[in-house]
Amino acid sequence: MSDRVTLPEDRDRELRTITDGFFEREVYLSRNETAAFLRDLADQLEADTSITVAGSDWEIPFEYRDPIEVEIEFTKQRERELEIELEFSEDSGGKGLSIR
């Protein structure tokens, strides 16, 4: 199984690998595309602590550690909105304990 989870976009552009700096992308997917993306992500989370999220011209390889932060936010201002955010922290190679 590959660790690559690809967003369904146009796939004809040159690929750029993001490993530092700041990158943000919003993608609008159909209900079926979203479900397929989340299934692929869930399968990869169960398989390993390494994922690569990718669009048509970018990819972000990422090694993460447990736990994964899940944030649920609901608001009703002009319209009702539900936000579900997953936050992965970089695997630092240890458990935060060292001897010096």
CB-CB contact of 86 with 68 (8 Å): yes
Q: How many whole angstroms separate alpha carbon 89 and alpha carbon 67?
A: 8
Question: How sure is the predictor about 84, in pLDDT bands with cuts at 50, 70 and 90?
Answer: very high
pTM over 0.75: no
In percent, how much of the chain has pLDDT > 90?
65
C-beta of residue 80 within 8 angstroms of C-beta of residue 92: no
Which tokens sit at 65?
Answer: 């550690």
Tens-place pLDDT, residues 5-54:
666 655 556 889 999 999 999 989 999 999 999 999 999 999 999 999 99
For the chain, the farthest-separated pair of C-alpha atoms sits apart, in whole angstroms, at: 55
Q: 39 near 1, Cβ under 8 Å? A: no
Tokens of 45: 């989370």
